[in-house]
Amino acid sequence: MVKITDVARHAGVSPSTVSYTLSGKRPISAETRARVEASIRELGYRPHAGARALASNKSNVLAMVVPLRAGINVPVVMQFAVSVMTTAREYDHDVLVLTQEEGEKGLRRVADTALVDALIVMDVQLHDPRLPLLRALDRPSVLIGFPADPAGLTCIDLDFKAAGELCVEHLAGLGHRVIGLIGSPPEVYVRQTAFAQRVVQGFTAAAARHGMSSTVHPCEATPAAARTVAERLLREQPALTGVVIHNEAILEPLIDAFEHLGLRVPTDLSLTALCPDDQAETLPVPVTSIAIPSREVGEQAVQLLMSKLDNTPVPSATLLRPSLTARASTAPRAV
């Protein structure tokens, strides 16, 4: 293994000069830099991560907890995860993953052993058991999602309440009076997953404000469940003309289900969804939707973390404004 002293000798400089050349933490003359870089390349030098971590007290590794459990939409979660990983690399960090099941023990372990410098936690519940730990830990963390009490934490997410409202307002503006929300799987609400709850809040509040008749239906992520919910919705609200869907996995099956029940989209029924843009665009009927900005959220989560590692103050709450893209699935109510 080639080490920093080898490079130093080869370049005719001291080890610290090699170190500073690499880190840029002090000025190095152009010639020296060139010589050092040449030696590094020539010898194929790679600094030892453990030695670095020990000497600098920084591992350049972030921990990320990926929620992979019942009811969550794995592809969407992985969009966040990929964005986090990609952005972390831009800041010269790697990402260590923890499963949800590792829970607080896992977080504590990687933080206390200095395996990671900072932590990113997704799938936050309103009363998440990990919050006290995250507040107490000596390492910074960022939550993707808002718990009931975010005091002392740094959180970022799409403003899901506003998103729920925005969907309703779009439908209201088109003249719809009777609407329904088809939500995520029941487990998600049972666990009080923050973002799902907030969509319901926004949806319900906006519907009330507009004097609309509304109902909410959680729904398993299977085509069969989609059919069942569609039927039930029409049975309970025969005058239904607007639907908000917050369940990416069964968007297409739901549309199919409504059409098989004799409702044309958007002629008889206007649909709007919360889902990734690429999905909304590529459906047979492009769906009016509020994008889930996983790209931005993951990116900003890492940036927040980097600021905290730099001791740069960061906003405690970052709520991304939802933006609705009107597509072919919504239209004025037929009169």
Partner DNA sequence: ATGAAAGCGCTAACAG
Partner DNA sequence: CTGTTAGCGCTTTCAT
Q: Does 185 bind a second copy (CB under 8 A)?
A: no
Q: Does 9 bind DNA (CB under 7 A)?
A: no
- Secondary structure (3-state) at 48: coil
Pick from DNA, a second copy, none: which does 94 bind, CB < 5 to 8 A by kind? a second copy
Report the nearest approach of DNA to the CB of residue 38 (Å).
14
Binding mask 36-55 toward a second copy (x if CB under 8 A, else -) reads --------x-xxxxxxxxx-
Interface positions, 70-99, toward a second copy (CB under 8 A): 74-75, 78, 81-82, 85-86, 89, 94-99
Q: Does 45 bind DNA (CB under 7 A)?
A: yes
281/319 Cα distance (integer angstroms): 25
Q: Does 82 bind DNA (CB under 7 A)?
A: no
Pick from a second copy, DNA, none: which does 115 bind, CB < 5 to 8 A by kind? a second copy
Q: Does 309 bind DNA (CB under 7 A)?
A: no
Q: What are the tokens at 287? A: 């769906």
Stretch that binds DNA, among 7-15, 79-87, 135-143, 205-213 (CB under 7 A): 7-15
Pick from a second copy, DNA, none: which does 5 bind, CB < 5 to 8 A by kind? DNA
Q: Which is nearer to DNA, 6 or 252 (CB)?
A: 6
Q: Does 282 bind DNA (CB under 7 A)?
A: no
Query: Do residues 279 and 75 touch, judged by C-beta distance below 8 A?
Result: no
Q: Does 31 bind DNA (CB under 7 A)?
A: yes
163/143 Cα distance (integer angstroms): 19
The two most distant CA atoms of the chain are separated, in Å, by 85
In this structure, what are the phi and psi dihedrals at residue 274, rounded to the nearest 5 degrees? -105, 110
Query: Which one, of 182, 332, 200, 285, lies nearest residue 243 by Cα?
Result: 182
Q: Which is nearer to a second copy, 60 or 213 (CB)?
A: 60
First to last CA, the chain: 78
184-216: b (≥16 Cβ within 10 Å) or e: bbeebbebebbbbbbbbebbbebbeebebebbb
272 contacts: CB under 8 Å, gap ≥ 6? 167, 170, 171, 242, 243, 244, 245, 287, 288, 289, 290, 324, 329, 330
Query: Which one, of 67, 127, 85, lies nearest residue 301 by Cα?
Result: 85
Residue with tokens 């170190």: 19
Interface positions, 207-226, toward a second copy (CB under 8 A): 222-224
| Contacting positions for a second copy (CB under 8 A) | 44, 46-54, 59, 61, 68, 74-75, 78, 81-82, 85-86, 89, 94-99, 101-102, 109-110, 112-115, 222-224, 252-253, 256, 282, 284
| Contacting positions for DNA (CB under 7 A) | 1, 3-5, 12-20, 22-23, 25-29, 31-33, 45-48, 51-52, 54-57
